[in-house]
Structure 1
Amino acid sequence: MLQVPGTAVFLNRGKQTAPLAMRANVERNHVRHEQVVILSIETEPVPRVPTDRRIVVDGLGYADDGIVHVTARFGYMETPDVPGTLALLDPADTEGPLLLDEASYFLSTIELRRGPAPTMAPWRKRLFIATSHITADAAEHFSLPRDRTVIMGWHIEV
């Protein structure tokens, strides 16, 4: 697998699984950025999270592989600013300085489709799929730069 220069930021729900967009990028394009940040956003049950409690970095057990997991915590009254939060990271915690001015941001999305399996009543499937389309624009919500954000999607049958 080829490593390309730069920083890639993959938003993911947690660190237990690899982001879908990261897996697809490696499988389809056969490349990985030199520096990879897997970022999970957590909303705390407080209005604001102090800056000194905002970020937790985990090297995932492998030193010098260029991949780190970052958990960013925000209060329920705060709007997550991903680039601004990543700028707070100490280069010693991320195996070197992140190239945030040129970083690429990757989002994963899942589109639900009605399948033949009898998992629920047909009208419930239609309602479930219809409500899945009522979502906020993730790139805008997380203050990601539009010109450097890639959204990769998958289909799942319900």
Structure 2
Amino acid sequence: MLAANSTKILAGGWIPLLAAGLVLTVMVTWHRGHQNLVTERRRMEDSLREFVATVREVRRIPGVAVFPHPFPDTTPLALLRCVESFGVLHERVVIVRVVIVRVVAAGLPHVRPAHRIQVRHLGSTADGIVHVTVTVGFLDAQDIPRNLALAVGHGPELDVDLDAAHYFISVLALLPPHAHPFRSWAQRLFLALERNQADRTEVFHLPPARTVVMGSELPS
């Protein structure tokens, strides 16, 4: 059968094969690049528990700072930069992790508001730093301000005014590779894909006037 169908390749059958090969190349390049980026980012981020234990000497300023962050055990890069670059920290710091559930109870694509919030206090409630996990269904909006409002009042660290909160998005900016172009095509493809990701300010429904992007640079 393979020999019989192989003649169709030269008669135009190569087009879908080429398209499939290109799609596969893009998917594999993105997956490998993303995994490498996640590994490097986690290496740069300190342990969240250790960070909380060391901020007692940091000067605190009035206000609420919200840090969207995908990992439960590391410190957001933007939070690290706030302390390292400015030597200050807001009185209330809320680290928010958004978890998307693909299959919800009863096959519904939504998570009920009453089941969306999980609050984790880090160290003492006096440190003003708290971790909130927001669980949403795959058809729910990843609206951080709206979902975070469900957690307000869950302890003294969440006695906050979200209308005055500032949001800090962590980024790990990739610098263009300096290798020979024929040896770095995969790196350049990943860079192009990475730059075309959805704007997280829009994805998380963050107020642009109160959203700051901070992070680090990483040679690719």
- Structure 2 residue 144 is the aligned partner of structure 1 residue 107: no
Equivalent in the alignment of 2:91: 34
User: When the two structures are superposed, what TM-score results if normalisation uses the length of structure 1?
Assistant: 0.91
Match of 2:76?
19
Gaps of 5+ in 1: none
Q: 1:58 aligns with which of 89, 114, 120?
A: 120
Number of corresponding residues: 157
**More helix by percentage:** 2
AA matched with 1:129:
L
Structure 1 counterpart of 2:140: 78
* TM-score normalized by the length of structure 2: 0.67
Greater radius of gyration (CA)? 2
Amino acid at match of 1:59: H
Taking the TM superposition and a 5 Å limit, the aligned residue runs for 1:133-152 are 133-152=195-214
- Does 2:187 align with 1:130? no
Amino acid at match of 1:30: G
Write the distance in 2 (CA, Å) between the matches of 1:40 and 1:96. Answer: 15
Contact 1:68 1:94 (C-alpha < 8 Å) held by counterparts: no
- Does the aligned pair in 1 maintain the 2:81–2:215 contact within 8 Å? no
Question: Which structure 2 residue ranges, 5 or more long, are not aligned?
Answer: 1-57, 104-108
Cα distance between partner residues in 2 of 1:117 and 1:140: 34
User: What's the secondary structure of 1:21's corresponding residue?
Assistant: helix
Q: Which has the higher contact order (CA 8 A, sep 6+)?
A: 1
The reply on whether 1:3 has 2:60 as its aligned counterpart is yes
Give the aligned residue type for 1:29. Answer: F
Tell me if structure 1 keeps the 8 A contact 2:151–2:158.
Answer: no
Secondary structure class of the residue paired with 1:14: coil
Structure with the bigger percentage of strand: 1
How far the C-alpha of 1:130 sits from its partner, in A, is 1.2
For the aligned residue pairs, the C-alpha RMSD in angstroms reads 1.9
The runs of at least 4 consecutive aligned structure 1 residues that moved more than 6 Å come to none
CA distance in 2, matches of 1:94, 1:49: 26
Could you say which residue in structure 1 is the equivalent of 2:14?
none
Write the deviation string for residues 9-57 of structure 1: whole angstroms up to 9, x where unpaired: 0011122110000000111111100000000011001310111210100
Q: Deviations along 1:96-143, whole A, 9 cap, x unmatched? A: 51121100000011221234589x931111111111111111111111
The alpha-carbon distance between structure 1 residues 19 and 117, as it changes in their structure 2 partners (threshold 3 A), is farther
